[in-house]
Amino acid sequence: MNFKDNIHNSINLFRQNKILAFLTMLGIIIGIAGVIVIISAGNGAQSLITNQIKSQGSNLVAIFPGNGEDEGPPVSVMGIVITTLKYDDMKALKDPLRAPDVLDYTGYVRGSANASWQGNKADTSYVGVSASLPFIEDTAVQAGSFFTAEDENGLQKVAVLGSDVKKDLFNDRDPINELVKIGKHSFRVIGVMRERGTAGFTNQDNQIYVPITTAQKLLSGINYVNFARVKISDETRIDAAMDDIKEILRERHSIDIGAPIDFDVRSQRDALNALFKVTSAVKFFLVAVAAVALLVGGIGIMNIMLASVQERVREIGLRKAVGAQSRQILSQFLVETVVITSLAGIVGIFLGIFVSYLLSLIVQSFGYDWTFSISVFSVLLSVIVSSLIGFIFGLVPARRASRLDPIEALRYE
């Protein structure tokens, strides 16, 4: 019995019991599709993160309130409100003697608000920032101008609109010098940001930028900042600058050397690593789920094959009676299971590619810079894993079949 005959046999098995064969394959199909999607999505997510962080410039340092652990994201990101970081702390960082590498800073105060202009409404969010934001974030206005340090100091009620907000409220009209209502307060529009896309989990075009001081006093009613960003003169100076920043903040917060600090200074590189850790953890979890699906699928196949052996005892007896050696029966059943699982694997690969593609379309529709890619590695891995599963879980049924005694098997009712 050669390989072709074995394949022929397995295909006959399918013809005879299509539904059963399909159900058997389902676990493998899901598992393999899962592997493909996980690897594709993992690569997509990581490319997204790196792209975004690169687009914001790599010589930024972020300061969060609260003492985060070194590993994982800062605690304030988890939604815990900490009020210890003040805007004056930021101002103190711009000290050419104590922190010579700090170029500039901006604080951030965020909140959501309804904005309206002449009956047009936008469900949006405001962000109070420093006048230096365009410099820090490497962006610029497309019309008008950004607010100045004077506006900031004078708590001016001026606003710069994100491009989406501008569209929602003014459509094609010129918004400059119009009065926009943010919550209960009127702000004069002085500029419109150029399109920026999505960063992290916020759409930067659906934001209104106002002076941080005005935001603290009028909109949020707080005296602290949510977080801050500092631009460093050169990438190679980041570590030194971070030490300087920590030193200054510790002094301002009267924290002894060695005592736990109540703020958290992180470079973009740290942020990247933290995000990679999160995505890797999610990836690991999903891989575990896929592995369980494959295991369950494998056990399912083994059971079906055992049942099939039981059903075909007389056939096996006959094959032996007409001259089949044990190992020929063994290979017949092994090939059968491998064919089934490989077929399931192939279906799973196509399903996985399809789902990954859908996923990329969905993510892209939210404005993220997500690249759809399927690695050759994941396809090869899937092919190998699915046939390996067939081999491993086919072994028990195939051995059982091959060990049947021809006379007893022929007598079997």
Angle value at C-alpha 335, between 333 and 413, nearest 5 degrees: 15
Instruction: Give the up-direction half-sphere exposure of residue 277: CA atoms within 13 A in the CB hemisphere.
Output: 11
328 interacts with another protein by CB under 8 A: yes
Q: Which of 120, 325, 371, 375 touches another protein by CB under 8 A?
A: 325
CB of 321 to another protein, least distance (A): 6
Quick check: helix, strand or coil at residue 240?
A: helix
157 interacts with another protein by CB under 8 A: no
Locate 227 and state its tokens.
């977080």
310 interacts with another protein by CB under 8 A: no
Locate 37 and state its tokens.
């999607």
* Cβ atoms 108, 212 nearer than 8 A: yes
Nearest CB to another protein, comparing residues 80 and 321: 321
19 interacts with another protein by CB under 8 A: no
* Cβ atoms 383, 342 nearer than 8 A: yes
Tell me the site size for another protein, rule CB under 8 A: 20
Q: Which of 97, 322, 376, 377 touches another protein by CB under 8 A?
A: 322
324 interacts with another protein by CB under 8 A: yes
Q: Which of 98, 252, 253, 314 touches another protein by CB under 8 A?
A: 314
221 interacts with another protein by CB under 8 A: no
Instruction: Give the up-direction half-sphere exposure of residue 44: CA atoms within 13 A in the CB hemisphere.
Output: 22
Q: Which of 326, 371, 373, 375 touches another protein by CB under 8 A?
A: 326
| Candidates 52-60, 95-103, 288-296, 311-319; binding stretch for another protein (CB under 8 A) | 311-319
Chain positions 367 to 406 lying near another protein, rule: CB under 8 A, are 406
**Which value, in Å, is the radius of gyration of the alpha carbons in the chain?**
32
Q: Which residues contact 245 (CB under 8 A, 6 or more apart)?
A: 61, 63, 93, 99, 102, 230, 265
Q: Which amino acid is at 11?
A: I
Strands (E), 60-157: 60-65, 102-117, 120-129, 141-144
CB of 19 to another protein, least distance (A): 17
| Candidates 186-194, 288-296, 321-329, 385-393; binding stretch for another protein (CB under 8 A) | 321-329
Q: Which amino acid is at 135?
A: F
3 interacts with another protein by CB under 8 A: no
Q: Which of 11, 321, 358, 384 touches another protein by CB under 8 A?
A: 321
The total number of residues written for the chain in this structure: 413
- Interface residues toward another protein, by CB under 8 A: 1, 5, 16, 314-315, 317-328, 406-407, 410
